[in-house]
Structure 1
Amino acid sequence: MTISQKKKVIDDEIEFCDEDILKKMLNGQNVFDALSQKEVEEARARSNVYETIGQSIFLNRAAVKMTNIDSVFG
């Protein structure tokens, strides 16, 4: 096993996806750089109700989502 430096960029990771699509996706993320932390948190809360779940009997949000799916589909 080889341990190397931690990679901090993914702009050359094109083994499993098209290079143009990757670049467009990474450039699209730049719109978030202009937002304040508060704006990002508010947008995240509006787009994903599980962001605000806080403490519950489950270990993580994925468990809550799976419980919801189980309930919906019986």
Structure 2
Amino acid sequence: MYNIIQTILVIVSVLIIIAVMMQPSKQQDALNALSGGGGDLFSQQKKRGFESFMEKVTAILAAIFFICALALVYLSSH
């Protein structure tokens, strides 16, 4: 059981890396962080489409990662 969860953890880790790399870049946000971003204050829009989907996928993979990590800790202590 320990080896199965460890394998799942490695696979999920790789998938998290891929999901983060596939997310759209936010270069404008980085520029606003350096310049103060006053012009972007009232133009916040709801994320849609691919960006929203990738955010959800990343959150789900992160939850699976933490559950597997906690399961490994539990199994290794018992």
Instruction: With the length of structure 2 as denominator, give the TM-score of the two structures.
Output: 0.23
TM-score after normalising by structure 1: 0.24
Higher RCO (CA < 8 A, seq sep 6+): 2
Higher helix share: 2
